[in-house]
Structure 1
Amino acid sequence: MPPLSWATSWTEWTLAPIPLIATVWGAGLYVVGVRTLHRRGDRWPVGRSIAWGAGMAAFYWATSSGFAAYDDTLLSAHMVQHMVLSMLVPLSLALGAPVTLALRTLPRAPRRWLLAVLHSRVAKVLSFPPLTFALYVLSPWALYFTGWYDASLRSDYIHEMMHLHLVLVGSLFFWPIVGVDPLPGRVSHPFRVLLTVLTLPFHAFLGVTIMGQTTLLGGEHYRALRDGPMASWLPDMRADQQLAGGILWGAGDLVGLVFFVILFAQWVRSSMKEAEREDRRLDRLEARAAAQEAARAEAQAEATE
């Protein structure tokens, strides 16, 4: 492969079958759902459609673009891919609210099946916040400090499954936190903020560990590449690993702050809606009390007459 550049990031695109199928079906079914709502006169927030489209585009870019073609050539390129798949894609897809869209557009029988899945014991276990938090923070350690990453460099199938794993684990953790879908495992806004903040030191610690360790990740694979025609432009393996650790550290903190801002905005919006509901409740109570007082006054007036 030629040296990584802006030009090659556009010319080295591939047609990986699994990402292509997932992107086409994910985007296509969402468009069908939105069009179904529009045909019957219902509205669907444009922002949700944009978020879903951005998530699917980010997924396809991270797995099939010219930049993604270097994910088994440069560890630093893989780390960018890792952060996009594990954080940006789950965030965008969660904000797209596909479960809500499905519940509003599916026929009666499939809707009952979906509701049964959402209320099943399996869904409750998989959305249990301590479990999803543990999966999210421990998966990268398992990926880079076991034989899993080396296996993904040797097998295209394991490589593709790793991509899906990053998206699924990220979605299990972040979907109940920032999503608007009626999923099990949803907790109060303060606890959501706490869970998001707790992920930041884990990314930082993992990044620093990768930067400072003497063992090279995928050392055999990357060393073999430097014995071939790409040796003239491939960077030093240790320098590339240090860059990869820095990307994991910095990008984790940056995207974590984006999550925090979104959570804070959702928290404020939820508080405002709760205040509006409380105002309406108090207005109804006040109106009811005024009506009762008027009725008593009228009854007293009739009694005196």
Structure 2
Amino acid sequence: MNKPELLVTPTSIHDILPLIEAGADALLVGEQRFGLRLAGEFSREDIKKTVEIAHEHGKKVYVAMNALFHNDKVPELPQYLQFLTSVGVDAVTFGDPAVLLAAREAAPNMKLHWSTETTGTNWYTCNYWGRKGAKRAVLAREINLDAILEIKENAEVEIEVQVHGMLNMFQSKRTLLGNYFLYQGKDMEIEKRTQENQLFLHDKERGTKYPIFEDENGTHIMSPNDMCVIDELRELIEAEVDSLKIDGILHRPEYILEVTKAYRQAIDVCCDDPDAYEDLKSELLEKIEELQPENRPLDTGFFFKETVY
């Protein structure tokens, strides 16, 4: 049984080595000028250092270029792709065809991962982008396990699936909160993903809080729960899904590190002895439940039923 890649999103350059030692096979980094909803901001120098550390340990580095690009940023894409190639980045994630077209000319050997977060819902679409040049499709978070398995069975490209972390519910290119406060005649300092100064939308009827933040790419509203399928990995692994992603956005480095350790153990045990995994998985789930912030309950996302926000 082939082991899937364990893909993790670090918050800073200081996370790289600990996450590798915890069992991460690949790291997804980037800067908000080109990437959406990153766990941390990585400058060009940070990306270069990340690649050096990761490659020294036989791990991979992917860079997010999945932002929604307007005309003013399109001329920057070739140069950025050339830089990523020069420092040895293993792949970039993209959703905008502008990245694909720029890569054909500026970085023809760069591996491309197609990722729109919402439209990767069938294997025809995955294969369409594969024939355009993508080597991997990142599936939408809103499809169930049966659909994931069917897509993997028919896909001509690698398949990546999120297995842990927040889900994005809404994005607007507009700074909705900032505009609202400005309308009221108030100043609001927009903090980029700070743990100490988060903003929430509070649904009193359901007793839930939706994390919300603004950055260069606009306004983002996240799910009130963290998805966690550490006890439901067997079918994904047996179907040979290529990459399992832990999304660390709005979580502390210590949390991401411990979750990575747990998933590393789950994947290794499941691949080596599936029956032993069945005996272990409840214990691993309990470990993660102990790590959860009080206001972040766990669920299985859309894996088995429609999640209602």
TM-score range, shorter chain: under 0.3
Higher Cα radius of gyration: 1
Q: Which has the higher helix share?
A: 1
TM-score w.r.t. the length of structure 2 is 0.25
TM-score w.r.t. the length of structure 1 is 0.25
Q: Which has the higher strand share?
A: 2
